[in-house]
Amino acid sequence: MKTKRKLVKYLVSLIILVFYRFNTKAKENKINTKVLSDKIFFKHKISKDHPETPDRIKYIINYLNKSKLNHLIENVDINSGNIIENWIKEIHSNNHIKNIKEMEPLAHKVSSAAVEICIKGVDMIFNSDVRNIFCAVRPPGHHALNTGKEEGFCYYNHVAITAKYIQKKYLIDRILIVDWDYHHGNSTEYFFYDDPSVLFFSSHDQYAYPGTGSPLKKGKKRGLGYNINVHLPCNTTDKQIIDVYKKKLLPIVKKFKPEFILISAGFDSRVDDPLGCYKVTDNGFRELTKIVLNIANKFCDGKLLSILEGGYNLDGNASAAVAHIKELNKKI
Ligand SMILES: [Zn+2]
């Protein structure tokens, strides 16, 4: 009898050991990050010499090549026009889309492609071995309202549409959107202001464009407490911005327990940006990435999709993006 029990015990531990080893092996084999982009982002410009230029993407690709990280880049086939438009309609009104299509057909095409890349990135995270994704897309999206025109270089709010896509397609409840662009993500705030399923955390200069983002704006109705604005003044340093994410984001995230994380990754909050006035360095962005990645690992098996927003110093934007991508690609 005793020998039998010993044998059962031995077999159980053996099964556990094999399962554990198999599991660790599977985790080791997971690719950490991919950078999704397409040459369509080399098109569209608001005007000659405008800072929101195709060069922003070209520089990021060049910097990735120089850092020998080009193997992370994956070009995505842009081909699902009507399907994408239906997802855009989850956030934007028919009138807004109709006006953008008529007045700015190329911007419509390029911004729709950005949405397509984002949602294909989500599919990759759910259905393949990749843990997280950086979407090297443009124009930015977090100022796009339903006004029928461009707002702050934006046409469609890519991050907001992606959040809706994750919720509807994958039946996910709680999404955290982190926005560290120098400017307030006013459109993201607007679309989720009364929605407790999306926690929006934005650090920005509330006195810059578009003049919104007061910390007093905390959401309404059931969404009260799920909109967090943190004002950071000119000359904000790495330490100041990192402190905000450690002291203000971490406690609320523990209660919210996100199931997926989206980053509105704007790098105009970096030092020397022509449209910003912060002093955040690449190291600062590396630390912010680490903080958000730790949250993703703790609460949602690392599921994180990061989307480029602003960033207008071509070298600075590319350098910060690469620092961010390097951190995303680190093994846990
Ligand atoms: Zn910005």
Going by pLDDT thresholds of 50, 70 and 90, the confidence category of residue 26 is: very low
Question: From edge to edge, which strands make up the β-sheet containing 304-308?
Answer: 73-75, 33-37, 132-135, 304-308, 260-265, 175-179, 198-204, 227-231
Q: Is the pLDDT of residue 325 over 90?
A: yes
pLDDT tens column, 274-309: 999 999 999 999 999 999 999 999 999 999 999 999
Residues that place a CB less than 5 A from ion ligand 1: 181-183, 266, 268, 310
- Whether the bond into 139 is cis, omega within 30 of 0: yes
In which band, very low, low, confident or very high, does the pLDDT at 30 lie, cut at 50, 70 and 90?
low
CA of 21 to the centre of ligand 1 (A): 45
**Amino acid found at 327:** E
**What is residue 31's predicted lDDT score, i.e. its pLDDT?**
73
Please state the three-class secondary structure of 69-93 as a single string. Answer: CHHHEEECCCCCHHHHHHHHCCCCC
For 141-193, give the DSSP string: -TT--SSSS-BTTBSS-HHHHHHHHHHHHH----EEEEE-SSS--HHHHHHHT
pLDDT of 152: 98
Between the CA of 269 and the centroid of ligand 1 the distance, in Å, is 7
C-alpha 300 to ligand 1 mean position (Å):
28
Cross-strand pairs, 201: 178, 228
Cα–Cα distances in Å, from 73 out to 55, 76, 318?
Answer: 17, 10, 14
Decide if pLDDT at 11 tops 70: no
Q: What is the pLDDT of residues 47-74, one digit of tens each?
A: 999 999 999 999 999 999 999 999 999 9
What single string gives the DSSP state of each residue in 257-303?
Answer: --SEEEEEE--TTBTT-TT----B-HHHHHHHHHHHHHHHHHHSTT-
For strands 33-37 and 73-75, give the pairing. parallel
Q: Closest by alpha carbon to 132, among 327, 276, 269, 266?
A: 327
pLDDT value at residue 25: 45
pLDDT band at 2; cut points 50, 70, 90: low
Q: Concatenate the DSSP letters of all residues of 42-67 into one string.
A: GS--SSTT-SS-THHHHHHHHHHHHT
pTM over cut 0.75:
yes
Report the SS3 class of residue 304: strand
Residues labelled as active-site residues = 143
**First-to-last CA distance in the chain?**
44
| Distance from Cα 283 to the centre of ligand 1, integer Å | 19
pLDDT of residue 81: 75
- Whether 8 shows a pLDDT value over 70: the answer reads no
pLDDT at 15: 61
Q: In this model, does residue 332 exceed pLDDT 90? A: no
